């Protein structure tokens, strides 16, 4: 399961990092930052609940990687995960 | 009747629509049910038309409210009060009444100054201020809480953040009351209230203008909002003295009455629900969730938008130039989104309330407001775990820009204890 924040929608309510501090943190302006972009199996329930707490509908959960995606090479996961941390400027 | 209004009447010709025609945000009920009419309107006529103040739409469902607030290119904030604001000597408040893209520049300047990180750093000082306010209440065995505590706390937190000294609290609260003189009066009383407000504006402008000048001249000014407004250069939006003044005035209006009224109404509720109060006393970890629930339940700040182009909302067509009232409290009590919305539940798991608004104008001070409410509820219940109402007569609710109660007399101690 992958967790991302849609920064076109996130306005920094902070509901996610207040209720689910293990999954999200705040950046300097108060927008959400995903801490676990690839959600461990034992956190999937929390991740799904967190989607439901966002007033903007800005949290996106992908249940499975897209089927069309080519298989990763060794170490490729980090490169795939990286954009989830980055907030466009 | 305008073409828009006739379409609304065709869409849902019900009693609720008929009641909506007379609805204004001044028609309040009781503290725990401030707008019974809105509940009726939401179920019987969810996108309704009021004919008051020149006519405006009322959007009461959660999904519709969010649609309006999340689409600033269709629903402009340049006019967001009903009845429309007739001021203003320096222009409308910033960033509240500004649309993107200028709005984005102002937000980028202000957000880091009121971020969660800033709120966390302020927690010890907020706690100290709350303790100083609560101790004399415990000693006296009771208080009138609204003016005695709830009005003071946000001022004490906000003043240093802005760049003013806490010793100026009384003067600034008086100035604040006069600045808002026109927001809580019926239209026929507006003229006298406008004079009061204009004098207060002149006093504020003189004071803030002098402070901004002083900050511009300092080689090493303190890090606060006043300095940011005095020295910042924005990419697209203007930020001269008039814009700085318009920002400070907004922060005044937004910082003070919101927290004051939410805290007062939360305490009114807790005074009457000792079992739920005992839950908070027994487990402070519930307090942040309780704070969100109080904000959802009371949602004291309605908002409005100006329609920029023809658009359909909930099956009703709005025309360019129409005004829309978004009574946030109605959206946050929508049973299509919240289970048992009229119950205050400290264990509510799903609470995507829009008490701080939604979209680009999400309340700038929300992180501070939460911290103030959390620390206030923690410290009050540590120092006085039991209290009750001094009177069975419900306090009067005032409507308008910020909904609240005017008086809350509390007695410290279990029910049955009497005021000293």
pLDDT of residue B402: 87
Total domains in chain B come to: 1
Domain assignments of chain A as residue spans, ordered by start: 2-64
Residue B82 falls within a domain, yes or no?
yes
Q: Which residues lie below 8 Å from residue A48, measured CB to CB, with a gap of 6+?
A: A61
Residue B311 falls within a domain, yes or no?
yes
Residue B336 falls within a domain, yes or no?
yes
Give the other-Cβ count within 10 Å of B11's Cβ. 18
| ipTM confidence score | 0.83
Which domain covers residue B120, as residue numbers? 3-412
**CATH code of the domain covering residue B98:** 1.10.630.10
Q: Which residues of B touch A (CB under 8 A)?
A: 66, 70, 108, 111-112, 114-117, 288-289, 292, 349-354, 356, 358-360, 362, 366-367, 370
Q: Which residues lie below 8 Å from residue B251, measured CB to CB, with a gap of 6+?
A: B158, B162, B225, B365
Q: Which residues of A touch B360 (CB under 8 A)?
A: 11
CATH 3.40.50.620 fits A2-64, yes or no: no
Q: Say whether A39 sits in a helix, a strand or coil.
A: coil
Residue B46 falls within a domain, yes or no?
yes
Report whether A14 contacts B366 (CB < 8 A): yes
Averaged over A22-31, what is the pLDDT? 94
Q: How many CB pairs under 8 A join A and B?
A: 61
Provide the residue count of chain B. 420
Q: Which residues of B touch A11 (CB under 8 A)?
A: 358-360, 362
Q: How far apart are CA B71 and CA B360, in angstroms?
A: 9
pLDDT of residue B3: 46
Per-residue model confidence as pLDDT tens digits over A41-73: 999 999 999 999 999 999 999 987 556 555 555
Q: Which stretch of DSSP H or E encloses residue B136?
A: helix B116-140
- Chain A residue with Cα closest to B353: A55
Q: Which stretch of DSSP H or E encloses residue A50?
A: helix A44-51
Q: Is A56 in Cβ contact with B349 (below 8 Å)?
A: no
Q: How far apart are CA B179 and CA B194, in angstroms?
A: 9
> Measuring CA to CA, which residue among A56, A50, A58 is closest to residue A18?
A50
Per-residue pLDDT of chain B (420 residues; tens, 9 = 90+): 444 544 444 444 589 999 999 999 888 888 899 899 999 999 999 999 999 999 999 999 999 999 999 999 999 999 988 877 765 566 788 899 999 999 999 999 999 999 999 999 999 999 999 999 999 999 999 999 999 999 999 999 999 999 888 898 998 889 888 887 777 677 788 888 889 988 998 998 899 999 999 999 999 999 899 999 999 989 888 898 889 988 998 888 888 889 999 999 999 999 999 999 999 999 999 999 999 999 999 999 999 999 999 999 999 999 999 999 999 999 999 999 999 999 999 999 889 999 999 999 999 999 999 999 999 999 999 999 999 999 988 888 988 888 999 999 999 998 875 555
pLDDT of residue A68: 59
Residue B419 falls within a domain, yes or no?
no
> Measuring CA to CA, which residue among A46, A44, A56 is closest to residue A15?
A56
Residue B242 falls within a domain, yes or no?
yes
Residue B420 falls within a domain, yes or no?
no
Check CB contact of A55 with chain B, cutoff 8 Å.
Answer: yes
Hey, what are B326's tokens? 């978004």
Q: Is B356 in Cβ contact with A30 (below 8 Å)?
A: no
Strands B409-412 and B387-389: antiparallel
Q: Which residues of A touch B70 (CB under 8 A)?
A: 9, 56
Check CB contact of A76 with chain B, cutoff 8 Å.
Answer: no
Q: Is the pLDDT of residue A77 over 50?
A: no
Q: How far apart are CA B373 and CA B386, in angstroms?
A: 18
């Amino acid at each position: 399961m992958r967790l991302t924040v849609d920064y076109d929608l996130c306005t920094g309510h902070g509901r996610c990092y207040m209720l689910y501090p293990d999954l999200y943190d705040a950046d300097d302006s108060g927008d959400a930052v995903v801490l676990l972009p690839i959600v461990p199996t034992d956190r999937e329930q929390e991740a799904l609940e967190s989607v439901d707490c966002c007033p903007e509908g800005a949290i996106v959960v992908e249940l499975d990687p897209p089927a069309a995606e080519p298989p990763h090479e060794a170490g490729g996961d980090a490169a795939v995960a990286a954009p989830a941390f980055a907030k466009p400027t | 009747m305008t073409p828009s209004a006739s379409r609304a009447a065709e869409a849902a010709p019900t009693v609720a629509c008929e009641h909506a025609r007379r609805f204004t945000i001044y028609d309040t009920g009781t503290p725990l049910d401030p707008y019974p009419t809105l509940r009726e309107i939401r179920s019987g006529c969810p996108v309704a038309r009021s004919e008051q103040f020149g006519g405006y739409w009322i959007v009461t469902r959660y999904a519709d409210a969010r649609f309006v607030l999340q689409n600033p290119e269709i629903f402009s904030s340049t006019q967001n009060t009903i009845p429309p604001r007739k001021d203003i000597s320096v222009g409308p408040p910033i960033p509240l009444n500004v649309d993107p893209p200028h709005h984005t520049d102002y937000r980028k300047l202000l957000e880091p100054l009121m971020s969660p990180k800033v709120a966390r750093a302020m927690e010890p000082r907020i706690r100290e201020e709350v303790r100083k306010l609560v101790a004399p209440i415990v000693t006296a065995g009771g208080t009138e809480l609204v003016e005695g505590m709830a009005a003071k706390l946000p001022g004490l937190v906000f003043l240093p953040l802005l760049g003013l000294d806490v010793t100026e609290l009384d003067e600034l609260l008086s100035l604040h009351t006069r600045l808002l003189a026109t927001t809580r009066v019926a239209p026929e009383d507006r003229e006298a209230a406008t004079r009061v407000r204009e004098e207060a504006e002149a006093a504020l402008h003189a004071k803030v203008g002098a402070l901004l000048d002083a900050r511009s001249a300092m080689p090493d000014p303190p890090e606060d909002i006043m300095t940011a407004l005095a020295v910042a250069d924005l990419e697209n939006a203007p930020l001269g003295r008039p814009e700085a003044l318009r920002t400070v005035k907004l922060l005044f209006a937004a910082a003070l009455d919101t927290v004051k009224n939410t805290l007062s109404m939360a305490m009114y509720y807790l005074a009457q629900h000792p079992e739920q109060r005992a839950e908070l006393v027994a487990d402070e970890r519930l307090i942040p969730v309780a704070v969100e629930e109080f904000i959802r339940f009371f949602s004291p700040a309605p908002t409005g938008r100006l329609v920029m182009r023809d658009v359909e909302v909930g099956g009703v067509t709005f025309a360019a130039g129409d005004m829309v009232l978004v009574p946030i409290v109605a959206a946050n009590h929508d049973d299509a989104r919240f289970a048992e919305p009229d119950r205050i539940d400290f264990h509510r798991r799903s609470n995507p309330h829009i008490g701080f608004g939604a979209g680009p104008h999400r309340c700038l001070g929300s992180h501070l407001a939460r911290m103030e409410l959390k620390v206030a509820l923690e410290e009050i219940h540590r120092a006085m775990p039991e209290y009750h109402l001094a009177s069975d007569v419900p306090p009067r609710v005032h409507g308008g820009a910020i909904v609240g109660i005017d008086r809350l007399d509390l007695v410290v101690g279990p029910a049955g204890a009497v005021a000293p």
